[in-house]
Structure 1
Amino acid sequence: MKKQSLAFTLSMMAGAALAQQGPVQFSARGIVALSDADMAASAFVDGNLYKDKGVRDALTTIQFPLDRNSDKMGSVVVSNSMTLLDKPLAVSNNGRVAFVLEGRGQVSDSVATLKNGINDLPASNAMYIVDISNAAKPTVKFRFPTGGSLTALAITPQSNALIVASADAGKELKIIEIDNTGKPTRVLTAEAPTKSGQITDLTFHPSGQYVAYSIAGSQEVGLMKYAIDNASKKPYLIAHGAPIKVGAMPGTGKFTADGKFFVVTDSKKAANAQGTGAGEVFVVQFSTEEKPGEHKIVSQAATGESPEALAISPDGSTVIIANSNQSYLPFNSGKAGKSSLSVYSLGQDGKMTLANEYPFDGIMPQAVEFDKTGDAIAVAVSEYLDYGTRTGGIEFWRVTKGDKPALTKQSGRVSVTRGVHSLKVIQ
């Protein structure tokens, strides 16, 4: 009996270890996710929303390590739009406050089809400020008007100010100073650094002294200097060098952790019934000298079709691109629901080399993020080829580091409101 008891005890201990290990390994305090429940991804092609009655746009908070208790997750209704890139969401560096650009407003359950495309979705000029300090119960604190046709949001590394891109003539950029609760304390405005089109993406340099921007319509990326005026103590933005042409439709971009390189996707065309063809990814080296020199492209590489999002490992050696391919097509298409991840090594010289590609089932992955160790990634999947109850998902992959980085899909995933399109990791 003693031997049986010992064996049983060891078995229980092993079971407990396995339970702690779990099907999802991701080194972070949490994840914040945005879901646009108004739109099926295929609405970009046929206009049909396939709305589920009563399901609303949501912000979801997820706490790690995961278990099967409901107090690890919470959600709150926050209107948002997948028509923006993956930059309508920012989180303070203490992980207690989230900021969300509405982009486009929600439509009623009675609206089944967009007859005029996304122009049928009501325009918005609002930003939501959400208290996420309690992962089980996020709470909207403010709905703050910030200007017309909002497109992108960036937060300073110090989390004391936000930069918002809008279409307001002569006031295209809003500098919103915030206190430690996330409440706006002062709003300043600045002109866009160029008049060639509306800014579609904003990213702070790790130093906090520069902001990169993309303009999809004019195929440009550029840099602005962010500084504080010594006399007035007011922050300001000013162009730092001339923008450069990058691809055909530059999208989302991110800096390496050391700020040496800026990596940006190029999807070539907007999602459409015929597909967009293979995309590209570019590595840009911005001039950050006091007197700016010429910004330059140091390398580029092919991607899958419709590269929607990218992530750069904390050590800067690996880049992951999430490709929608033609997964957003209506369900009766043979290419619907088939996406992929492209994995690249990034050299000290900025050269990108394709290491591996991984097809997977899922519709329109629009966000991907590394954990704090670089050993895992989270991927936001808008929805699946599911009938009946439909959800989005956050999937997880292990990362094998090295000269030829590789991925292994983890068996667990987090189900969230369908239309998930933006993620932020709380370290």
Structure 2
Amino acid sequence: MKPTPIVIALLGATVLPAFAQNRDAAAPMDFQGRYIVSISDADMLASAYVNGQLGPREGTDALSVINLDGDPRDWAAVEVPASNSVAGPPAAVELSPDGRWAFVIETFTPRPEGDAPHAFADLRVGNTLTVIDLADPAAPVVAQTIEIPMRPDAVRMNAAGTILAVSFNPANGAGGETPLALFRFDAGTLSAITTPVIPDWPLDSGRLIDIDWHPTEDVVAMIDGNNNTVRFARITADLAVEPFGNVVDIERAPYRVEFTPDGNHVVINALYWGPDIAGTWIEAPRGTVMTVRMNAEGEGAEARHTYVSRVITGVSPEGLAVSPDGRWVATTNLERSYLPYDDPRVTYFSSITLARLDQATGQLSEVGTFNYDGILPEAAVFDNSGNFLAVANYDHFDDRIAGGSIDFWRIQADPLDLSNVQLVKTQESVPVTRGAHSMVIAR
């Protein structure tokens, strides 16, 4: 005898798994960490890089904090004003190692007041460093604002949380005898500025575009974005710079530098921009990400640092992230997403390149480059597990969507073919002020 339709329906209900009956179910996203901090430049559309027109302002420059507790679908950003600019490397915000303090540099000042059309040329070179207290991440408070040399490029803090480094762009900026400033930091207060000379630094041509601190020692890696080199130095107790080892030639237009978690290598992205590229960067070829081994055992000139490995990325890989377990490297690639919509060269996509990293050898192997619908993604951070990635999305192609966003991605292997690894954009996305461009995570 055949069962009646009612019996069939009841049998079907008994074999459905619980999650399939729950309409509120979601794919797991165990993004681990305390909170994410990003900054947004509200003064310009991404297309201002090409046509010089800032477009309508959307709010004011802001620092955003996203608490990572609870259901990811409920995450939201709280914001506090903090002057900053996208016109520089995505290294304009830093956190103290304990996550208590955020530091924001101002590369260019906010646009003039008023509703009249404004151009990029209306922006003035900035010279402000803001310290923000995150004792309560849900209510960030500006604790200190000081003047620093003009046109800062990058801000980085040592592993002990006691020294803050700021680098400067010499183009109509700081000039002088050094592109570096150091501050002691204690109990929320910055000391007077120290401007140490970097021995043999090419003042006439160099640009200290980014700097990173070793994960356990007061050793720094410094990249010269103009001369395509990386060099290493120790910062002494009296805040002097003592170079050690050889200067390493690297690839064209390096932009960010990150030590691996074990401190044995640095990872560097290269944009391949230049005066011989149409539009300097608009028609750039695909970029690269590379590793350099630091010989920490060598002393002085005896230390020999070596170029190790590279992989090809998407076009203009401005953002760089290394997972805290040392397994992965990611670059966020602008492609040509920032061009005006009427420019036939525009790409209505950006991308992320994911590579495997062998910390022991420094070898990189490409997983893939993954396109998505977003504009000018300049920064990314891995979560504590290394299984997820947060990406700063400057703006949206749909102008009905206000602001930018912090989007969340999953690294996923096929359970039946573990060699098939994919980077997948999840549904989780947190709105922030338009212009998100630099980002860090409190672990």
Please say whether Structure 1 and Structure 2 have the same fold, judged by a TM-score greater than 0.5.
yes
352, 372, 395: which is aligned to 1:341? 352
Give the distance between the partners of 1:208 and 1:72, measured in 2 at CA: 35
Contact 1:45–1:272 (CA under 8 A) maintained in structure 2: no
Give the distance between the partners of 1:421 and 1:274, measured in 2 at CA: 18
Give the distance between the partners of 1:354 and 1:198, measured in 2 at CA: 29
Q: Which residue does 2:190 correspond to in 1?
A: 184
Paired residue type of 1:314: P
Give the distance between the partners of 1:225 and 1:314, measured in 2 at CA: 23
269, 291, 309: which is aligned to 1:283? 291
165, 175, 183: which is aligned to 2:182? 175
Q: Which residue does 1:32 correspond to in 2?
A: 37
Q: Does 1:205 align with 2:214?
A: yes
1:69-84 matches, cutoff 5 A: 73-84=77-88
Q: Which residue does 1:398 correspond to in 2?
A: 410
Give secondary structure in 2 for the equivalent of 1:200: strand
1:197-276 matches, cutoff 5 A: 197-228=206-237, 234-269=238-273, 274-276=282-284
Q: Which residue does 2:141 correspond to in 1?
A: 139
Structure exhibiting the larger radius of gyration computed from Cα positions: 2
Q: How many angstroms does 1:413 deviate by? A: 0.4
Paired residue type of 1:391: G
How many residues align? The count is 408
Give the distance between the partners of 1:424 and 1:337, measured in 2 at CA: 26
Q: How many angstroms does 1:364 deviate by? A: 0.8
Give secondary structure in 2 for the equivalent of 1:217: coil
Give the distance between the partners of 1:273 and 1:297, measured in 2 at CA: 25
Taking structure 1 as the reference length, the TM-score comes to 0.88
1:356-412: CA deviation from partner (whole Å, max 9, x where unpaired): 221101011100110011111100011111224531111111123676643222111
Give the distance between the partners of 1:25 and 1:251, measured in 2 at CA: 31
Q: How many angstroms does 1:273 deviate by? A: 7.4
Give the distance between the partners of 2:27 and 2:190, measured in 1 at CA: 40
Give secondary structure in 2 for the equivalent of 1:27: coil
Gaps of 5+ in 2: 1-13, 169-173
Contact 1:44–1:272 (CA under 8 A) maintained in structure 2: no
Q: Which residue does 2:388 correspond to in 1?
A: 376
Shift in CA distance, 70/277, structure 1 to aligned 2, threshold 3 Å: same
Q: How many angstroms does 1:15 deviate by? A: 5.5
Q: Which residue does 1:363 correspond to in 2?
A: 375
Q: Which residue does 2:64 correspond to in 1?
A: 60
Give the distance between the partners of 2:406 and 2:161, measured in 1 at CA: 26
Contact 1:321–1:341 (CA under 8 A) maintained in structure 2: yes
Give secondary structure in 2 for the equivalent of 1:32: strand
1:94-116: CA deviation from partner (whole Å, max 9, x where unpaired): 211100011110012445342xx
Gaps of 5+ in 1: 1-6, 229-233
Q: How many angstroms does 1:120 deviate by? A: 3.6
Shift in CA distance, 91/273, structure 1 to aligned 2, threshold 3 Å: closer
Q: How many angstroms does 1:92 deviate by? A: 1.0
Give the distance between the partners of 2:217 and 2:47, measured in 1 at CA: 38
Larger deviation, residues 269-278 vs 129-138 = 269-278
Q: Which residue does 2:55 correspond to in 1?
A: 50
Shift in CA distance, 303/316, structure 1 to aligned 2, threshold 3 Å: same
Give the distance between the partners of 1:274 and 1:171, measured in 2 at CA: 31
Shift in CA distance, 68/164, structure 1 to aligned 2, threshold 3 Å: closer
Q: Does 1:85 align with 2:89?
A: yes
Contact 2:75–2:430 (CA under 8 A) maintained in structure 1: no
Shift in CA distance, 221/227, structure 1 to aligned 2, threshold 3 Å: same
Q: How many angstroms does 1:241 deviate by? A: 2.6
Give the distance between the partners of 1:253 and 1:64, measured in 2 at CA: 26
1:400-419 matches, cutoff 5 A: 400=412, 405-419=421-435
1:128-185: CA deviation from partner (whole Å, max 9, x where unpaired): 001122222211111111212211111011111101112341243211001122x113
Shift in CA distance, 392/151, structure 1 to aligned 2, threshold 3 Å: same
Give the distance between the partners of 2:94 and 2:441, measured in 1 at CA: 10
Q: Does 1:426 align with 2:436?
A: no
RMSD in angstroms over aligned alpha carbons?
Answer: 2.6
Give the distance between the partners of 1:69 and 1:281, measured in 2 at CA: 33
Taking structure 2 as the reference length, the TM-score comes to 0.85
Contact 1:312–1:320 (CA under 8 A) maintained in structure 2: yes
Give the distance between the partners of 2:342 and 2:267, measured in 1 at CA: 35
Give secondary structure in 2 for the equivalent of 1:65: coil
Q: How many angstroms does 1:69 deviate by? A: 9.8
